[in-house]
Amino acid sequence: MTNTPLIVDSHCHLDFPDFEGELPDIVQRAKEAGVARMVTICTKLKNEPVVRAIAEDHAGIFYAAGTHPMSVASEPMATLDQLIQITKHPKMVGIGETGLDYHYTAQSADIQKKSLRIHIAAARETGLPLIIHSRAADDDMARILAEEHKIGTYECVMHCFSSSATLAKAALDLGFYLSMSGIATFKKSQELRDIFASAPVDRVLVETDSPYLAPMPYRGKRNEPAYTAHTAQVGAEVFGMDYAAFAAQTTENFDRLFAKAAAWSAP
């Protein structure tokens, strides 16, 4: 569909069982919706070869890798050297997702913090953007991001942002990005839409986090990269922009942050 504005799904999980056996159709539907590129996220490093293979098999798919905060207590601790080694792959474009989740896994807070700082060090060392998951941990998250930024700068996106205006400001003040997911399309999410509206539009990305968090009108169903278009439509409304202009702006933002993906060309 040549007249469809192009957008990027900056965060999805194409290796999850929800998509098993359907990837060609998933990718085709995404392309038809204008989602020409996507970043599939590895949440456990033992799964990195599978996620990497998905990126290798599809020109428009890139990947990132790290240990999800909800898994750090049950997975081997990622090392700085391990993360740096993975980034040598030409389609590995981000560090994470990492972060803090005190909603479900507060009991592992200390090990989550240690893992987060290792991932930050990898982002700082490699120049690749850090991909942050933050839930019910605003104070610790803001503090650690700022402390580490003073040690040495790094790039970062607050993935699937649905936290407080305070954490949004803390992240934006550090020069980071906020990523809008399907949550922003829910009727009850006006406060979240207001947070995005107050952010610089050149610091906003869009994503699905699929197979989770399908936007309206698919809420409650399996999410997929094609549905990025529905979130982007709401994003355009939030910023008072034409859809094509918002799609172009968020694509430009993605290319600025994920510069390795932007520079990649098929061999």
Return the CATH number at 60.
Answer: 3.20.20.140
- Whether residue 217 has a cis bond before it, omega within 30° of 0: yes
Token pair belonging to 208: 């699905």
Is residue 80 domain-resident? yes
**pLDDT for 147-171, tens place per residue?**
999 999 999 999 999 999 999 999 9
Measure the CA–CA gap between 179 and 181, rounded to whole angstroms. Answer: 7
Residue 1: pLDDT over 50 = no
No. of helices (H) and no. of strands (E), the chain: 10, 8
Q: Does the residue 187 lie in any domain?
A: yes
In a domain, 29, yes or no: yes
- Please tell me the total count of domains within the chain: 1
| Residue 2: band (very low, low, confident or very high) from pLDDT cuts 50, 70, 90 | low
User: Is 159 part of any domain?
Assistant: yes
CB 183 within 8 A of CB 153: no
Rounded to two decimals, the pTM is 0.96
Strands laid side by side in the 177-180 sheet: 7-12, 35-42, 61-65, 92-101, 130-135, 156-158, 177-180, 204-206
| 77-134 confidence digits (pLDDT tens) | 999 999 999 999 999 999 999 999 999 999 999 999 999 999 999 999 999 999 999 9
Q: Let me know if residue 1 belongs to a domain.
A: no
Domain with 95, as residue range(s), is: 7-263
Q: Is residue 2 part of a domain?
A: no
Residues ≥6 apart with Cβ < 8 Å to 49: none
Strand partners, 100: 134
pLDDT at 267: 78
